[in-house]
Amino acid sequence: MTGRGVALVTGAAGGIGRAIAMELAAQKHHVVLGDLDLEAVSVIEQAIRTAGGSATAVPLDVTSQESRAKVIRLCDEDLGGLNTLVNCAGVLQDSLIERMPLAMFSRVLEINLVSPLALIAETVDLMRRSGGGAIINIASRAWLGIFGSTAYGTSKGGLVGASRALALELGRDGITVNCIAPGFIETDMSASLPPKVREATLASLAVRRAGQPSDVATAVAFLAQAPYCTGQVLPLCGGRSIGTPTISLPTATK
């Protein structure tokens, strides 16, 4: 495989996943587009090829060992290896703790935490044989704690902790492991927020704008080519993690 090798992106049909796939393809990766929605990723594959890149669309259920194995086998036998893994597939379901069905909590953990870790475990040998590479897990600012987000926040917090441990474990193999923790990103999900919630959220950001999927994609492309950066959590939240700019009166007199 020419260029920068093979990159597998899970959840590639979503807004953020699509942007990541397009950016990695532009950076000369061959991108394997994994998603439950084969029709959607096939459209993205065509878009990448039309733009001069290379990609392969595949059906992928991240919760299925059989489905994961098929994609890994394709990377190994048909594409010659795997250099970058981006765990972007995820689900947002939550409830106040007293009202939360155990089945909901378990489903969120299975998709957002257990499945990415299973995929990492199953791809490490191939990445090692490919000469090392980068694992990038898409977490969320929710790992720091958000009211009413116990299931989602737990899943993303677990992903952060696992990524830091795996960075120590896999560094000797030339494999970096990092997380990106997006905040408010323009997606179909954020578009459905009530106007007052949206306004309040934007007012809490230092940059006073929502993030775009392309902002996440740019960060992923950086980490895919940063072999001395590992075990880190990159906040991508417009400055929300450092405080709020709502107090506008200056305290400096000079």
CB-based contact 122:62 (threshold 8 Å):
no
For 208, 233, 249, the CA distances from 221, given in Å and listed in that order, are: 24, 15, 38
Taking the C-alpha atoms of residue 162 and residue 182, their distance in angstroms, rounded to an integer, is 17
Distance CA 12, CA 96 (A): 30
Contacts with 180 (C-beta within 8 Å, 6 or more apart), sequence order? 136, 137, 138, 139, 216, 219, 220, 223, 233, 234, 236
Q: Pick the catalytic residue: 12, 115, 139, 152?
A: 152
- Sign of the four-CA dihedral 205, 206, 208, 211: negative
Report yes or no: 35 and 47 within 8 Å, Cβ to Cβ: no
Cα–Cα distance for residue pair 179/55, rounded to 1 Å: 24
Structure tokens at 130: 């490919």
Would residue 152 show up in a list of annotated catalytic residues for this protein?
yes
- The residues near 117 (Cβ < 8 Å, ≥ 6 apart) are 159, 162
Question: Residue holding tokens 């957002």?
Answer: 112
Give the residue numbers annotated as catalytic, written as ranges. 152
